[in-house]
Amino acid sequence: MVVKVTLRGLRLQPAKGKWYVYPRNGGPPLIKGFEGTREQLLERLSDPDMLTVYNANRKRDLNRVYAEGTLGALLAWYLNCSHYRELAERTRKGYEAAYEWLRPEFDCPLDVIDTASLYDVRDRCASARPALPTR
């Protein structure tokens, strides 16, 4: 049984025979330079990798409780740990900024996280991070 769901908050933009898909609230395009018809584009948007990207850009409830065995559950446990509360304020703020960047990955089960995926996340973070000011 196939269930069709409408993806809301996307802007489909044709330009010079190619398609671009942007989140309506701004941000980088989900798809750049797709060649094909609108129907083919909609079919592409239904692929699992595209649904993952789409869900990562959606706003989520910040007070959400994550399932046991996920990255979100592990970080929730750590944030309530006495060790975390004893960290310096500046250190906690740095950690919280990193956690916000990781928030789209909080549903990820811990058993699928491996070294290669950690390198991928690190590289995406480095490329998305704004350049530091030079002295």
Residue 125 has pLDDT above 60, yes or no: yes
Indicate if 76 and 124 belong to the same structural domain: yes
Domain that holds residue 16: 10-57
31 neighbors 21 (Cβ within 8 angstroms): yes
Helix (H, G, I), strand (E, B) or coil at 10: strand
Widest CA span of the chain, in angstroms? 59
Verify that 36 and 81 share a domain, yes or no.
Answer: no
Cα–Cα distance measured from residue 5 to residue 3, given in angstroms and rounded to the nearest whole number = 6
Q: Answer yes or no: do 95 and 119 share one domain.
A: yes
- Residue 66 located in a structural domain: no
Query: How many distinct structural domains can be found in the chain?
Result: 2
- 26's tokens: 């701004």
pLDDT band at 62 (very low <50, low <70, confident <90, very high): low
| Residue 108 domain-assigned (yes or no) | yes
Tell me how far apart the alpha carbons of residues 22 and 37 are, in angstroms, rounded to a whole number. 17
- Single-letter amino acid, residue 65: V
Q: Of 130, 127, 104, 118, which Cα lies nearest the Cα of 23?
A: 104
- Express as a percent the part of the chain with pLDDT over 90: 15
pTM of structure: 0.47
Cα distances from 36 to residues 16, 22, 63, 65, 123, in angstroms, run 12, 17, 41, 40, 30
Q: Flag whether pLDDT at 122 surpasses 90.
A: no
Res. 132: pLDDT tops 70: no
Using pLDDT thresholds of 50, 70 and 90, give the confidence band for residue 18. very high
Residues 47, 24 share a domain? yes
Q: What is the pLDDT of residues 66-88, one digit of tens each?
A: 888 888 889 988 988 888 989 99
